[in-house]
Structure 1
């Protein structure tokens, strides 16, 4: 199997990002198009390539504010079946977190798609449970609220807590149990 190369996404990647998204998650075109319209910028996405095709992707979306701290959200981490087990998602996730912290974000959160992934986010990305899924607490920009409305109600199949990692020196104590409404689940 060919070597993976890693980079930031580019404007021309949208068709391949859409292909990989549909392949891994099975979402419809309207959902994916709305995500790209409202939330995507090339610098928010990292990809792994192999043989001229995207093999893995992940997004880190800035915008939320929790008790005055700027936050970002890891979303739609996906690896094509033939490339799983090669640590592509871990590398993408770590690069997304580093990039977010380098840009001034103080905390990166995610809602694992299922309970079984919580351990992965803990062991691979250093995350721990912090925010409650849903409810008041974290503030979101308009584009997030619009996409969240498009997504509909929270899924009962996703965990009740969001996992997060703070930038060095950030005290997460005052954030414990705050609600994070816009999860896109």
Structure 2
């Protein structure tokens, strides 16, 4: 199943984080890539959340941080998050890694030991300015999915698109 959604317009909830292996190995692998075609760098936060997030922490341009219900993130478009400079998911066993993606470049990473039923959250931020949150997405795949791949693309005009692939061997060529 392939889903491609523009994140600059609204938030994305797709059905694709998966699991590999059988009962002997209940964890899976996630492959994630970012292609930045814009002439400025972006920070991309990748969070794996085994259970539902218990909330979200917003950091504002004035340096304050406030914990809010997750609906305060999922219920609004990124454009409505004025003066928000960072977003952090809260909950048990949330792991987050942030990547600086330079202008006109890309990165790729693999996350091992993704638990069954976990969801993945992606937050895209500009590196300067008061209102830095550009886009966010959440995705997951059904239990038993063989592999999971997430590809984030930032176009030369700064638009953000995200695509997930579930069930296809992420290590295969093509």
Query: TM-score of the superposition, structure 1-length normalised?
Result: 0.26
Q: Which has the higher helix share?
A: 1
Bigger fraction of residues in strand:
2
- RCO comparison, higher one (Cα < 8 Å, 6+): 2
Give TM-score, length-normalised by structure 2: 0.27
